[in-house]
Amino acid sequence: MTIEILTLKVLNDNYAYLLIDKTTDQAAVIDPGSAGPVIKALNNKNLNLSHILLTHHHYDHSGGVRELKKLYPESKIAIHEDDAAHLPTKCDHKLADGDLITFANVAIKIIHLPCHTRGHVAFQVGEALFTGDTLFNAGCGKFFEGTATEMLSNLQRLKTLPNITRIYCGHEYTVENLEYAHQADPDNPEISNRLDASRIAQATNSPLVPSTLSLELQTNPFLRLNDEQLQQQLKTDNELDTLTSLYKIYYGTTP
Ligand SMILES: [Zn+2]
Ligand SMILES: [Zn+2]
């Protein structure tokens, strides 16, 4: 694969990502919450923008779309069909589960994960997975437009991907999420170790994305819902109740 991935910090704590095809100087952007940092990166590297890919409709992921489309009128805006109506701009490509978008001779696969919003998707590009606000480092997004049962099946689906999958999430919440994870599963040494390492990384401005699926399987309680030790801590005996208990710890409210 000839694609390079560039991480951009946008707004307060959002991540946008540029996929760059060096052979043609084309780029695709994922979740441009604001246009400025994206335009700057495109100009710095002399790139043209061919695709604007949105994991979901929320403004902190799509706020830069209108400006980018104006500057790059040939670029194609893609969002799941269930989220398209929320965009202030017309989209060019309404996505459905299993669709493939071709960028730089590479297929980008659409994985529909309804719950945070009805049309939330993840983009799978080779070994990279862009998870938006569904799966965070050591956490999981809010269930704004769906149920715990839906999120459970999303999480179960993500767990089946190859362990080497690199996870590029939509927000930088790593340290606070690991603090909640530690609260939920205090005897898990992998969580404590990752929390220590992440605090150091944050203090030294080292990147905390991407994570990997194998690291998340060890330290993200939302991918460990059937773990005996975690269930004992939360006094639950099934994955759905464990998910609900975790949501309360992370978000202070029931889903
Ligand atoms: Zn969101
Ligand atoms: Zn967000």
Question: Which listed residue (56, 57, 120, 182) is catalytic?
Answer: 56
Position 149 in a domain: no
Q: What pLDDT was estimated at residue 88?
A: 87
Domain that includes residue 83, residue range: 1-126
Q: How far is the CA of 130 from the centre of ligand 2 (A)?
A: 13
Rounded mean pLDDT of the chain?
97
Query: Which has the closest alpha carbon to 223: 197, 188, 253, 198?
Result: 188
Q: How far is the CA of 16 from the centre of ligand 1 (A)?
A: 13
Position 233 in a domain: no
Q: How far is the CA of 158 from the centre of ligand 2 (A)?
A: 19
What does the alpha-carbon distance between residue 211 and residue 71 come to, in Å, rounded to a whole number?
A: 32
Which H/E stretch holds residue 11? none
Considering every ligand atom shown, identify the ligand nearest to the alpha carbon of residue 142 and give its number. 1
Question: Which listed residue (51, 80, 112, 171) is catalytic?
Answer: 171
Position 163 in a domain: no
Q: How far is the CA of 15 from the centre of ligand 2 (A)?
A: 9
Domain containing residue 77: CATH number: 3.60.15.10
What is the sign, positive or negative, of the torsion defined by CA atoms of 121, 125, 131, 135? positive
Q: How far is the CA of 195 from the centre of ligand 2 (A)?
A: 22
Q: Is the pLDDT of residue 149 over 90?
A: yes
Question: Which listed residue (51, 57, 58, 182) is catalytic?
Answer: 58
Position 213 in a domain: no
Q: Burial code of 16-35, b = ≥16 C-beta within 10 A, e = fewer? A: bbbbbbeeeebbbbbbbbbb
Number of domains in the chain: 1
Position 91 in a domain: yes
Question: Which listed residue (51, 61, 80, 120) is catalytic?
Answer: 61
Residues 205-229: pLDDT tens digits?
Answer: 898 999 999 999 999 999 999 999 9
Q: What pLDDT was estimated at residue 43?
A: 98
Residues 54-111: pLDDT tens digits?
Answer: 999 999 999 999 999 999 999 999 999 999 999 989 999 999 999 999 999 999 999 9
Position 159 in a domain: no
Position 253 in a domain: no
Q: Is 171 a catalytic residue?
A: yes
Position 61 in a domain: yes
Residues 120-142: pLDDT tens digits?
Answer: 999 999 999 999 999 999 999 99
Q: Is 56 a catalytic residue?
A: yes
Instruction: Judge contact between 26 and 48, C-beta under 8 A.
Output: yes
What does the alpha-carbon distance between residue 41 and residue 74 come to, in Å, rounded to a whole number?
A: 18
